[in-house]
Amino acid sequence: MLYSKFNSSLSLSFINQYGNLRSQESKKIKIDSQGNFYVGGTNELAGGGFEFLLVKFNSSGTFQWARGYNNGLNTFQEHLLEDMIIDPNGYIYVTGGSEGTGTMFDITTLKYDLNGNLLWTNRYNGNGNSSDGPYSVDLDSQGNVYVGGVSVEEENPSESANPRNTFIVIKYNPANGNRSWVRYFYGNSLSSRDASCAAVKTDANNNVICTGYANMLSAYDYITIK
């Protein structure tokens, strides 16, 4: 994992690297109000799989701490961080797809404090018991957490043998990680239905706006929902 900082004149302030003998890959970077920066990505496990990786550096680029999450399964399974956000108090929320035991990938959201202590974990497995994954996380002005992505769900009992990709948004209580609600958009109701949320944002009034795609009968369309 290579990281660097340039000043306002585009002169290089520092360039450093973080890693071990296995592979690391960075995917997201966020900066807190103190200028500390956090890099989120993946770290290769000893068994050949991957775990969430969250690394904190101070404003001078000095390493502070690193945290991994692999659901306690340090094996060939995969746990892939997708997005992250920092609230005004310095708490860090990360979300990604994490393999479970018998559940394939679950939408997995974590909260850390500024010292890297894990405060809570929430895993969501759709009723289709298949591969579910998030793509985006945002916060409202009250600190509530919203995650958007895709979940394999049954819209009705007739789909029990073949549940399908479904646009999903989940709201979490920031204090304890409990889910406040889960909302779905299925797209069409035919066997071809396929929908996913690509991004979620909140506005000044704490409305939640989500965008993604859905197969609407004959073709895929942009879908935006408020």
Signed CA dihedral, 65, 70, 74, 78: sign only: negative
Quick check: 162 pLDDT over 60? Answer: yes
Residue 3, pLDDT score? 65
Taking CA 74 as the corner, what is the angle to CA 106 and CA 152, rounded to the nearest 5 degrees? Answer: 15
Are 28 and 83 in contact by the 8 Å Cβ rule? The answer is yes
Residue-wise pLDDT tens digits, 1-19: 676 777 788 777 777 777 6
Residue 160, pLDDT score? 57
Closest CA to 150 of 128, 125, 168: 168
Q: How confident is the model at residue 155 (pLDDT cuts 50, 70, 90)?
A: low
Domain boundaries, the chain: 17-119, 126-226
What is the distance between the alpha carbons of residues 151 and 171, in angstroms, rounded to a whole number? 15
Quick check: 159 pLDDT over 60? Answer: no
Higher pLDDT, 46 or 88: 88
| Non-local CB neighbours of 53 within 8 Å, separated by 6+ positions | 1, 24, 40, 41, 42, 43, 66, 67, 68, 81
What is the distance between the alpha carbons of residues 200 and 209, in angstroms, rounded to a whole number? 6
The average confidence (pLDDT) of the chain is 85
Residue-wise pLDDT tens digits, 95-123: 998 888 888 888 999 999 999 999 999 99
CATH of span 126-226:
2.40.10
When pLDDT is averaged across residues 147-172 and rounded to a whole number, the result is 77
